[in-house]
Amino acid sequence: MDVLADILTAMRSGRPVAALTEVHAPWGLRFEQVLGAAFHVVLQGSCQLVPLGGAAFAEVQLGPGDVVLLGRGAPHAIVSAPGADLTPFTPVRDTPGGSFGRFALPGSGARSTIVCGAYKLARRRPHPLLRDLPEVVHLPAAPGRDPGLRAMVDLLGAELHEAPPGAAAVAPSLVDALLVYLLRAWMAGSENTATSWSAALTDSVTSRALAAMHAEPGRAWTVEQLAAVAGLSRAAFARRFASVVGEPPLTYLTRWRMTTAAQLLRSTDKTLAQVAAATGYSSPFAFAKAFRREYATTPGSYRADAAG
């Protein structure tokens, strides 16, 4: 079981959107709050990331090859220079309602080419991995650093800029994959601590237990059973898991069951009884009670809101 892939699948609430952006100095682009995470990939030129609307992060200078992820989708701007007038970012989609588009600001100054986009992620009761993302993850281009991410940036830039045959089929998959590479690079960073989710996914003990819970969320796991999977005594496992993950094993299991249930309600037509069985509840009533406790709404209302 790939826990990171499982988390991202459960948290996605729609397809990502992106646009190839070509602007000429002086320029400034305004981006509103998004329900998920925003990103920018600088293919050519340079710019500055600026917080807006009370966002709590410092300005960041971006150069060619730099990637930035705004983990909480905060309102922001990217500008050619401080004080530049801001234009709302309103790309023209390649197809009506499509995921990809283009945006251009003509001018006589230096040109910058940037891929600007956003990931639609469920923010209601977010998974701790997403909850712990900082406002800004800046991944500067550097020789030998994050080679997988660098290769993905090159591929994405080529597909969007050159638009070869089949680009419409390839580009969405590349943007989806880009999020995985961004998170891998962030988790590998030195700013992470031993109690972060980067540690939880790489620690030999917690990763085995997490994989077991994610593979069978409906199983009636006990701490003893999870400890056996992890290869530790019950007491040692419970301490290790809580220390690294930040909560006890069965607390996380309940959280993951609810996350899985929400994803099933959003993206499938499974009945309440089927969702309850898949997430370890003996009856639709028991499941509905637990779901309401976590989400402050009924499963039926949650599904209706997601569909609307």
Give the CATH number, domain containing residue 224: 1.10.10.60
pLDDT surpassing 60 at residue 179: yes
| Residue that terminates a domain, selected from 154, 187, 220 | 187
Domain co-membership, 142 together with 77: yes
Residue 67 — very low, low, confident or very high, per pLDDT cuts 50/70/90?
very high
Domain co-membership, 144 together with 114: yes
**For the chain, what is the mean pLDDT?**
89
Look up the CATH number of the domain holding residue 158. Answer: 2.60.120.280
For range 78-102, the mean pLDDT: 87
The per-residue pLDDT for 194 is 47
Domain co-membership, 177 together with 60: yes
Q: Over the stretch 192-231, which tens digit does the pLDDT of each residue have?
A: 554 577 788 888 899 999 999 999 999 999 999 999 999 9
Domain co-membership, 73 together with 109: yes
| Residue that terminates a domain, selected from 187, 214, 241 | 187
Domain co-membership, 208 together with 178: no
Query: Identity (one letter) of the amino acid at 98?
Result: G
CB 26 within 8 A of CB 109: yes
pLDDT surpassing 90 at residue 100: no
Task: Pick the range with the lowest mean pLDDT from 73-77, 89-93, 124-128, 302-306.
Answer: 124-128
The per-residue pLDDT for 193 is 53
| 192 part of a folded domain | no
The per-residue pLDDT for 51 is 95
Domain co-membership, 253 together with 290: yes
Domain co-membership, 118 together with 25: yes
The per-residue pLDDT for 111 is 95
The per-residue pLDDT for 287 is 95
Which one has a higher pLDDT value, 51 or 156? 51
Tell me: cis bond preceding 26? Omega within 30 of 0 counts: yes
Which one has a higher pLDDT value, 165 or 66? 66
| 302 part of a folded domain | yes
Count of the separate structural domains present in the chain: 2
Domain co-membership, 224 together with 260: yes
Which one has a higher pLDDT value, 189 or 233? 233
The per-residue pLDDT for 127 is 84
Number of Cβ within a 10 Å radius of residue 222: 12
CB 262 within 8 A of CB 226: no
| Residue that terminates a domain, selected from 187, 217, 233 | 187
pLDDT surpassing 80 at residue 76: yes
What is the per-residue DSSP string for 228-258?
A: HHHTS-HHHHHHHHHHHHSS-HHHHHHHHHH
Q: Over the stretch 245-298, which tens digit does the pLDDT of each residue have?
A: 989 999 999 999 999 999 999 989 999 999 999 999 999 999 999 999 999 999
| 197 part of a folded domain | no
The per-residue pLDDT for 191 is 55
Q: Over the stretch 103-120, which tens digit does the pLDDT of each residue have?
A: 999 988 999 999 999 998
Helix (H, G, I), strand (E, B) or coil at 87: strand
- Find the domain containing 275 and state its range: 203-307
Q: For the chain, give the percent of residues with pLDDT over 70.
A: 96
Residue 97 — very low, low, confident or very high, per pLDDT cuts 50/70/90?
low
Closest CA to 175 of 32, 3, 37: 37
Domain co-membership, 91 together with 176: yes
Domain co-membership, 178 together with 238: no
The per-residue pLDDT for 64 is 93
